[in-house]
Amino acid sequence: MTDIAIRASHLSKCYQIYNNPHDRLKQFIAPRLQRLVGRQPKQYFHEFWALNDVSFEIKKGETVGIIGRNGSGKSTLLQLLCGTLTPTDGQVEINGRVAALLELGSGFNPEFTGRENVYMNAAVLGLSNEEVTERFDDIAAFADIGEFIEQPVKTYSSGMMLRLAFAVIAHVEADILVIDEALAVGDAVFTQKCMRFLRGFMKQGTVLFVSHDTGSVVNLCQNAIWLNKGVISQAGIAKEVIESYTQFTLQEIYGDTVSLTSMDVNKKPKLEEKNSELVDVIEVANVTIDKDTLVTYFTQLDESSGWETGKAKILSVRLLDKDGQYMPMLHGGELVSLEIIAIANESIYSPILGWFVKDRLGQVLFGEHTYTYVNPPLSVNEGEKIKAIFEFQMPLLPNGEYAMTVSIAEGNPFEHTQHHWLHDAMIFTVCSSKLRYGLVGIQFNEVNLNIVEVK
């Protein structure tokens, strides 16, 4: 356990579900009487396994996301790890102090004031009365709920309760932080404060993060665990797990009407091989990287992961200049056209071609689809090809790698079927000597700095 923060071994949790309240009394009395008279005891409940034989290890310093649909066992797992539930089978090993933000308001006494709840919660997490007193001002400042700190918690809004709960766990010097979807109720300012704390904590601590926001999981977590009906469906690199989960949830929505088939990614090239190709392009172009920005890219439709229904297929994705000519490389800020060509293998009404660009953390930076620009919708016959052109000014991106996801769907933005979805269909690499702030830079026509007289 020297480098392991959390280890779950064959962890299971079973609940007894009763159809009627009086069945509980029957279960308490009847089996005993039946044994006394030599009869086989009857069971008056049915079993529900919230978790079933779950095993994994989380190393110290790792940030791991837990994903899954409602009822998949995420909250049960966290409660078992935190010790608020006892497992039916298996065991949990924890190495370090755990601070948890589970169900909003859990651990709070609604009749106590905010101050009293701070002392009670911190004591549960292992702090002495003197340590809480020493840190109370910092906790109150982080929560920033003003005079409500002296009011009963039952008068708090959900946002105020979150502020106080997070403020406590942020000041107990925990080794392991467990968060269960609670940040979803926070306002933008406080959520940003929490994210800054999390990023700082992640540098030396272990984080277990449950969220339905898959973008946040990819952004924050190196690895992820996907729970489905109490068992682990997949565990591994967060991006790969999220891609599989996205396909699964769509299949659940479509039901039996559409069958999504995973793409074969065995042929996917190694990143090092692609990087070597990019270096060659830069050298051949003889571009002075220190004096300009160079955006190189390549398409990899055949090697992209994703899924398809067989009803339509993306054939090509290209970047063109203002004259409609293929662009081998970009510099950022120029007018470009993204061309996507697809074929209908069956008749399609209202096809939608769309795309978006993500950074290396999976955050969506920009993108578009054709639906709002096409009125009335198209009807495409079997075997016909369709071409979409998106004309836009290429944003100024900070140095790094970016990926474009491309898809063809049928329907409208609110109710549709994704017939062909390609992760990482196009990869961009940006090299620049210019320092850019934020996720996407903007073009400045002029920037001046002068000394002026103050009147």
pLDDT band at 384 (very low <50, low <70, confident <90, very high): very high
Domain 258-432, CATH number (from 3.20.20.70, 3.40.50.12780, 2.70.50.60, 3.90.700.10): 2.70.50.60
Cα–Cα distance measured from residue 401 to residue 358, given in angstroms and rounded to the nearest whole number: 9
pLDDT at 398: 85
Look up residue 76 and give its amino acid.
T
Please state, in angstroms and rounded to a whole number, the distance separating the CA atoms of residues 417 and 168. Answer: 45
Give the residue range(s) of CATH 2.70.50.60 domains in the chain. Answer: 258-432
What was the pLDDT predicted at 82?
86
Pure H helices in 37-128:
74-82, 114-124
SS3 at position 270: coil
Q: CATH assignment of 4-96+175-251?
A: 3.40.50.300
Start-end of CATH 3.40.50.300 domains in the chain: 4-96+175-251
pLDDT score for 198:
84
What pLDDT is attached to residue 269? 42
Does 265 have pLDDT greater than 80? Answer: no
Q: State pLDDT tens for residues 428-437.
A: 988 877 777 7
Mean pLDDT of 356-364: 84
Q: Model confidence over 308-320: pLDDT tens digits?
A: 999 999 999 999 9
CA distances from 197 to 171, 212, 320 (A): 10, 20, 43
Residues 219-240 have a mean pLDDT of 91
Q: Residue 35: CB partners within 8 Å, gap ≥ 6?
A: 41
Residue 287 pLDDT > 50: no
Give the Cβ contact number of residue 437 at 10 Å.
8
Question: Which tens digit of pLDDT belongs to each residue from 99-139?
Answer: 888 766 667 888 999 999 999 988 888 888 999 999 999 99
Residue 221 clears pLDDT 80, i.e. is over it = yes
Sorting pLDDT into bands at 50, 70 and 90, what band is 362?
confident
Give dist(CA 132, CA 145) in Å, integer: 18
The secondary structure of 349-410 as a DSSP string is ESEEEEEEEE-TT--EEEEEESGGG-SSPPEE-TT-EEEEEEEEEPPBPPSEEEEEEEEEEE
Q: How confident is the model at residue 421 (pLDDT cuts 50, 70, 90)?
A: very high
pTM of the model: 0.77
More confident residue, 399 or 8: 8
d(CA 444, CA 52): 57
Average pLDDT over residues 356-365: 85
